[in-house]
Amino acid sequence: MAAEKKPMQTKNKVLIAGISLIIVAGIAVGVYFGVHKNSSSINRRCNGTPTTSAPPTSTTAVTPPDQKGTMINGTLFPYYNLTGEAPAPVGFLTPGTYSISYDDGPSEYTHELLDMLDKENLKVTFFVNGNNQGCIYDPKVQSVLKRAFESGHQIASHTWSHPQLPKLSVEGITTEMTRLEQAFQDILGVVPRYMRPPYGAGTFGPADTDAKVQTTLKNLGYVITTWDIATTDADIDDNNAVHKLSDEQLMKVEQGQVTSVVETGPKGATHMQLMHDTYMRTVRLMTPWTINYAKNLGYKLVPVATCLGDEDPRTWYSRIGPPSPNPPTTCTK
């Protein structure tokens, strides 16, 4: 399936803009998105929209001795030694952290990305669609999604079909989220608490459409998270004619998107970087460059939830239970 274009990212430029009152003193993270510039949107973009209660999770089963991790309500949380009740999620930025996240996948390049992340011993966040680049129920997609989860990466929602949420009714938004929830439950046994709206649409301003999106997602129990750095990889790849610009030239553009935010903001400010694991250059070139760049600046690379102070992976999900023994294999009803 051809890669879907990202119209808002082409228009958007990202900057550090202010300090939210709920963020730890001294941390400043802000975002420019075209005409959308206001302090309330900064808080939503970096901190997410907090929910009122933590998911009821507890360790209820013993992990088999041949598996690493902790078994919780029939779902294995890999590589985590979790005991007792899950703590309530936090709601502030963690100083010195840098999250790398990927939208729209998994794709044909995600296994290669996971190989790299395994070698670096790093965890990231995948904002997954149900039926966009491919069907989430396709056995190959299920395989890479399970591998990402079982490797300890955070899995989050990016809606079922990647629509612009303000254009949908409340019922349409709800269907986009709940249909993907069912797929996550079928395949992984968990339902994410964190989501990223496609294009960031519906989360930046006080307009009625934005309130509709935000209220609907909050009522569904979601934490809305966006980004403060967008490499614009999707716009560059989708709009670049074959051989028009070299990989080196394109990389300079994307690297500039990163450095223009990091190097103009306070030292150690928390950053959340958006990329797409659906592009070969992003996986093979931009990801290793970002890892080295952030590490050389002294950042700790973590998933988005950890960047937001939510360190226990049990609280990354609103429901935890056994996956389906026989999940569907197609997206058709």
Q: Which residues are catalytic?
A: 103, 276
Contact 319, 102 (CB under 8 A): no
Strands 70-72 vs 75-77: parallel, antiparallel or unpaired:
antiparallel
If we measure between CA atoms, which residue out of 193, 195, 260 comes closest to residue 232? 260
Q: Give the Cα separation of 274 and 229 in Å (integer).
A: 6
Q: Give the Cα separation of 121 and 198 in Å (integer).
A: 28
Reported as type and span, the H/E element at residue 120 is helix 110-120
Q: What is the DSSP string of 30-71?
A: ---BTTB--HHHHHHHHH----SS-------SPPPTTS-SEE
Q: Please, which residues have CB within 8 angstroms of residue 90's CB and are 6 or more apart in sequence?
A: 308, 309, 310, 311
Q: Give the Cα separation of 207 and 20 in Å (integer).
A: 20
If we measure between CA atoms, which residue out of 192, 262, 256, 193 comes closest to residue 227? 262
The structure tokens listed for 275 are 């990329």
3-class DSSP assignment, residue 209: helix
Q: Please, which residues have CB within 8 angstroms of residue 247's CB and are 6 or more apart in sequence?
A: 281, 285
DSSP state at residue 196: -
How many CA atoms lie less than 13 Å away from 291 in the CB half-sphere?
A: 17
Torsion from C-alpha of 236, 241, 244, 245, nearest 10 degrees: 20
